[in-house]
Amino acid sequence: MLLASGTVLTVAVAGCLGNGDDDEEPDDETNGIALDDDPEGAVEEWMDGGNAAGWDGDIADLTGEDEVTIENGANPPDYQNDPPVARVDAGTALTWEWVSDGHTLHEEESTTTFEEMTNIEDGGFTQEMTLEDAGAVLYYCQPHRGQGHVGGIIVE
């Protein structure tokens, strides 16, 4: 009886843990809004749901710019990205500049290639990348996510 119970428990727990298959494609959805179908709506929902610091609903229209800098860790201790959300053209050179200490740059979800910076870095550090594909990126600072240190990029 005990052996049979142990087998059932093992099977039940294994079913809860899943199969560990990391090869599944991401569904590119956030809270029911598909990034592919409505990048702007997905970014707005991400920012609203993440109680984004500094987010007033405005999207900085930086289309037409060859280079864009986003300050990572602006306005301490209410850490935020400045601008919190930016609209850029595909192929724009983006630079995240750490303006205070103790921040990362993690991807929550993206429809384009995004280069995370998962190490905690301090003021003066920069992360540069060029987003080539139209869509959206939802990102956050791991240590300060709970404080609303989240951001979004809409790529056209």
Beta partners for residue 128, in sequence order: 95
One of 3.40.190.10, 1.10.10.10, 2.60.40.420, 3.40.50.300 is the CATH number of 25-155, namely 2.60.40.420
Instruction: Please give the distance of CA 70 from its chain centroid, rounded to a whole number.
Output: 14
DSSP state string for 51-108: T-TT--S--EE-TT-SEEEEEEEESTTS-EEESSEEEE-TT-EEEEEE-SSSEEEEEE
How high is the pLDDT of residue 12?
39
Low-confidence winner among 37-41, 71-75, 148-152 (lowest mean pLDDT): 37-41
Domain boundaries, the chain: 25-155
CB-CB contact of 154 with 40 (8 Å): yes
pLDDT 10s digits, 85-116: 999 999 999 999 999 999 999 999 999 889 99
Q: Count CB atoms within 10 A of the CB of residue 13.
A: 9
Give 60's strand partners: 86
Q: pLDDT per residue over 40-53, tens digit each?
A: 999 999 999 988 99
Q: Which two three-digit tokens encode residue 130? A: 């060029």
Q: Is the pTM of this model over 0.75?
A: yes
